[in-house]
Amino acid sequence: MLNNPTPVIAIDGPTASGKGTVAQQVARVLGFHYLDSGALYRLTALSALKKHMSLADEHGLAKLAAELPCRFEGEHVFLAHEDVSLSIRAEEIGNAASRIASLPAVRQALYGLQLRFRDAPGLVADGRDMGTVVFPHAPLKVFLTASVDARAQRRHKQLIDKGFSANMEDLRNALSERDARDANRPIAPLKPAEDAHLLDTSEMTAEQAVEQVLGWFAAVRKAH
């Protein structure tokens, strides 16, 4: 993909840091395609649970991921013909996705799928290893973060708005555990790329974060 001139904005960060919201809005403003890489892991996890597969079956999960019948239409996510936009956001699915994301064969199976989202006029990709592994030559890399308390509050609001029950203390604990698991996994751990712009959104609105990312991208375009 080194010779692909299509620009990529890679936005990484932990769960509920705001990266999805920011990435979607940046993509909308620029007219770029959008990739929610985390949704691919959630779709794999959901599909595995539907088939009653063990989350430790690395070979089986990798085969499942490689043949994932998914598609994205705006903010809607489909698994085969089923709209699973809401069900993949359940905490059970998020935790399962975090577990299978540590399996090298699963990550490799989804790697090629993610690369295919890079298409003109540009791509905004959010995840945990967009800038470090999938798009290491992206002209703009951003690492979004926020305090655990701020992220727990956002996640609580997201879940309640979508009709899920949620407990703040449980969310804080789950976020801390997932942060540790994502940061310490042996393959593609969650960390900023060396040349990433760091953005703490704890005290920022989504609009302010979007404005900052667009400003960085404008500067990159001007420089080139």
**pLDDT tens, 95-117?**
899 899 889 999 999 998 899 89
CA dist 83 and 199 (Å) reads: 33
Q: Are strands 76-79 and 82-83 parallel, antiparallel or unpaired?
A: antiparallel
Q: The domain that contains 83 carries what CATH number? A: 3.40.50.300
| Chain centre distance of CA 27 | 14
**Average pLDDT estimate for 80-103:** 91
Is residue 18 one of the residues assigned to a domain? yes
How far is residue 20's CA from residue 202's CA, in Å, rounded to a whole number?
15
Single-letter amino acid code for the residue at 145:
T
Q: Which two tokens stand for residue 38?
A: 């985390």
Q: Which of 25-34, 81-90, 153-162, 204-213 has the lowest mean pLDDT?
A: 153-162
Which residues lie below 8 Å from residue 95, measured CB to CB, with a gap of 6+? 174, 178
Question: d(Cα 13, Cα 146) in Å, to the nearest integer?
Answer: 9
Distance set, CA 154 to CA 15, 119, 135, 148, 176 (Å)? 10, 31, 27, 10, 14
pTM of the model: 0.86
SS3 call for 185: coil
How many domains, the chain?
1
Neighbours of 47 (CB within 10 A): 21
> For 116-166, how does the pLDDT look when each residue is reduced to its tens digit (9 = 90+)?
899 999 999 999 999 999 999 999 999 999 999 999 998 898 888 888 888
Note the pLDDT tens digit of each residue in 59-71. 999 999 998 888 8
Q: Say yes or no to pLDDT of 2 above 70.
A: no
Q: Is residue 203 part of a domain?
A: yes
Range of the domain at 63: 8-217
Q: Is the pLDDT score of 202 beyond 90? A: yes
- Would residue 76 count as lying in a domain? yes
Residue 152: inside a domain: yes
Residue 223 belongs to a domain: no
104 found inside a domain: yes
By the 8 A CB rule, do 19 and 12 touch? yes
Q: Is residue 224 part of a domain?
A: no
Rg (CA), the chain: 17
222, part of any domain:
no
